Structure formats: C-alpha cells, structure tokens
Amino acid sequence: MNDLVLLIVALIALWASVALSRRRRGPGAKLPPGPRPLPIVGNIFQLSAEPHKSLTELAKTHGPLMSLRLGSQLAVVASSPDMAAEILHKRGHAFSNRSIPDAVRIHGFDKASWNTMATDSAGWKKFRRVGREQLFSNQALQKTEGQRQETLRKLTEHVRGFSERGQVMNVGEATFTTMTDLVFSTLFSINLTDSAANMELKEHVNGADTTEWAMVELLLNPDKMANLKAERKSVLGDKSTVEGSHISKLPYLQATINEVFRCHPEELNPNYDKEKMCLD
C-alpha cells in the first residue's frame, strides 16, 4: 500500500513538473537547443563542481546559445563573445529586467525598494539618476578623494608595520577593512573600522577574496610582480600612492586583475590546484 502511495505521489510530481515547464515556456515558445533534461531535476546533474567548465563542454555540442533546465527554472546560456554582444549590447533593454517574486508584489514592495523594482520603471530610473549625478559623478568622487587617500595611507602604514616587525599579516582582513572604509566613506561619510557593524558585515560579504588570490598568484609568479612594479614606476615615478586617475594608465595592472577574475570565478575553491596557476 505504501509503495502504491509513493508511486502515485511520484507520478503527480512528474506531471506537475512537466505541466509547469510547459506553462513557463509559454505557447509556441521557441527555445535554443540544449541537452535533454531529466524529469524534475532537469540538467542539474550535467553540471560539475566547476560549472563554467561543464558549460564550456556542453556548448561544444549544443552551440554558443543553449537552454538548460535547472529544476523548475529555465536558463539560457550564452558562451561566445558574439552571442554575449547580441544579448548585452544589441538587445540589452529586452534582457535588462529582473524577475520579481509574487511575494514581493503583494504589499507593493516592488515599487518601493530599489533592488526589486523593474529596471524600466520610473522609480528605478530615478534611483539611477541620483546615483549617477550625486554619488558617482566626477565632481562627487573628487570631493571624497581625500578620504580615499587617507584610507589607503592607513593601509600602507598597516602593511609597513607588519613588514618592519617581521610578522605575518592577514591580507584578507586588512583588505576587507580598507574596502568597507572606502565604500562607506564615499557613500555615507562614515568609517566602519573596528566597529561592530564592520564585523557583522564581514560575515555576510566576503569582499577581499580577489585581493588574496591576486597576492597568491603574484607571489608564485615573481616575474609578473616585477612587470607590475616596472609599470607602476614608469607611470607614477616616485609617488607612493596610486590614485583613481592613474588606473587608465596602468594596462598591465588591469590585465592582471582581469586574469585573476578569469582564473578564480568562484570566491573560494576548495579544490584549487596550485599546479594550475594562471598569469601566464
């Protein structure tokens, strides 16, 4: 009897999954090619612990634009520069909106909170205009340049102190503190260093991983570190601090950062293999 009940439940779940899939797809919807999904779970088992590599392999079979079913969610994956340009540049407006859960719409939160507003709504455009004109314009950033330089000076002194004492420094902790100070001093003119709010924020946001990976890569690739130092010397001369206006004149630094992002798409990879270092 129990086996019969389980069989009925499984059949109902399978039917619901197929019906939901067809409803989400819509009448007459034409999807890109892709691997055949399994009932209920879809293509989840075709993604490994390194999904970017799995998607690359699937794209070799199904093309630069393919559709995947991840449980009840439909995903369309673009994996070529031309396809990405078509979606993000030529048809960016059509793909720029976000999916807003029905639970958010119930009390009208989708019209009051910027992170749930439709990107083509008047409210979202107002938030963007305020950010562009009041927070991130050249004039606004120039007003807070002194605060950023002071924060970077403190980081430099912090690092120099550990170096002079011959002590080991926690790069991630120092970088995270500096990043949060930079953001909050720029946006809100407050400093979170050594505050309870800073420690609480560090739990929810691990914003220093990129810096740690960059340091690992550069320490294991001293020739690339030498190239960075040479570029910095040629652009800054004897100046000790890099300013925002210098970044566009440091292409090797920009390429290094992009390479770190490429080699470490996941924030922390427990299966990281030191034999597969990048920056080559």
Q: What is the pLDDT of residues 228-258, one digit of tens each?
A: 999 999 998 887 777 777 888 999 999 998 8
Confidence at residue 268, expressed as pLDDT on a 0 to 100 scale: 44
More confident residue, 270 or 147: 147
Please count the other Cβ atoms lying within 10 Å of the Cβ belonging to residue 202.
17
The segment with the largest mean pLDDT, out of 17-21, 42-46, 90-94, is 42-46
Span 174-183, average pLDDT: 80
pTM exceeds 0.85, yes or no = no
Contact 43, 68 (CB under 8 A): yes
Confidence at residue 275, expressed as pLDDT on a 0 to 100 scale: 47
Q: Which two tokens stand for residue 180?
A: 């949060």
Taking phi first (over 0 means left), then psi (-120 to 50 degrees means alpha), and beta for anything else, what does residue 42 get? left
Contact 66, 59 (CB under 8 A): yes
Q: Which two tokens stand for residue 228?
A: 């960075």
Span 122-133, average pLDDT: 81
Q: What is the pLDDT of residues 186-216, one digit of tens each?
A: 776 666 655 555 555 557 455 757 788 888 8
DSSP code of residue 42: B
Q: Which two tokens stand for residue 134?
A: 């009041």
**Rounded CA gap, 207 and 113, in Å?**
24
